[in-house]
A = this chain, B = another copy of it.
Amino acid sequence: MSSDISLKILSKSLGCTVLVRLRGGKLLRGILQGYDQHMNLVLEQAEEISDDNTAQKQLGVIVVRGDNVMMISPAVKEGE
């Protein structure tokens, strides 16, 4: 079955910049350093960004508790 594909995507994104949309609306960008099956995430050089992708607040290294995560995506470059 295709049940491991979420973790495979996360695995391929290790060391890459990802966007993380949280419940409640916050949008984070950072380099994915780790994750687990609950979607707890560790991001490096994390920053809170606005919906037009401009940085608003530097957060450094953060641990995000998985049950606040709504969706995760490899960062899309401008114009893509």
Copy count, this protein chain: 7
Q: Mark A38-73, 1 if CB is under 8 A from B, else 0.
A: 011110001000010000011111111111111111
A66 to nearest B CB, angstroms?
7
CA A40 to CA B79, docked complex, whole Å: 28
Interface of A with B (CB < 8 Å)? 1-6, 8-11, 14, 22-24, 33-37, 39-42, 46, 51, 57-74, 76, 80
Residue contacts A-B, CB under 8 angstroms, 27 given? A2-B11, A2-B36, A3-B36, A4-B34, A4-B36, A5-B33, A5-B34, A6-B36, A6-B40, A6-B41, A6-B42, A9-B63, A46-B73, A51-B57, A58-B80, A59-B76, A60-B73, A60-B80, A61-B73, A62-B72, A62-B73, A63-B72, A64-B70, A65-B71, A65-B72, A67-B67, A68-B70
